[in-house]
A = this chain, B = another copy of it.
């Protein structure tokens, strides 16, 4: 009979709990995530111009994302602290959607996965892009924050195949 589907962070009585990873082995963990900031025409043009002038906007967002990844266990209550060994964040400008796509890749040798670090990195990088563009357009929207890839846990590797929920 199939094991019933459960939320690992929730006990049988509905109470939140931190999953114990005491018994797990350390393995090499990797996760990649993405998200986008839909800027609208005016703000997008200014970000493009800033990038072409090699301005700082995306560097600031990158630093904010890296620092947030390191602080994931301080932000997300039930996450475990992890000694990350690599955090990378990069950007793609999408002229069609007037959007910045944000990508993160995080690695560690750890007892638990690093997808939350990848998701948190993208989220705070996106919030930082929002912050720097908000004076131009109050309709800026952050969307499609999701996991792209994950490897190293006993639940098996994962690569997103399906079209994103949108």
Contact = CB atoms under 8 A, between A and B. Distances in A.
A87 to B, nearest CB: 5
B18 A66 contact: yes
Contact of A119 (B50, B71, B130, B160): B130
Q: How many copies does the complex hold?
A: 6
A131 B9 contact: yes
A133 to B, nearest CB: 6
Interface in A102-130: 107-111, 115-116, 119-120, 123-124, 126-128, 130
A70 interface: yes
A146 B142 contact: yes
A4 B68 CA distance: 33
A74 B71 contact: yes
B146 A16 contact: no
A135 B64 contact: no
Contacts of A7: 43, 46-47, 50, 57, 132-133, 135-136
A75 B68 contact: yes
Nearest to A79: B131
Contact of A145 (B17, B85, B141, B162): B141
Given A59-B63, A64-B75, 8 more contacts: A15-B56, A16-B56, A66-B77, A67-B67, A77-B128, A80-B84, A140-B147, A142-B146
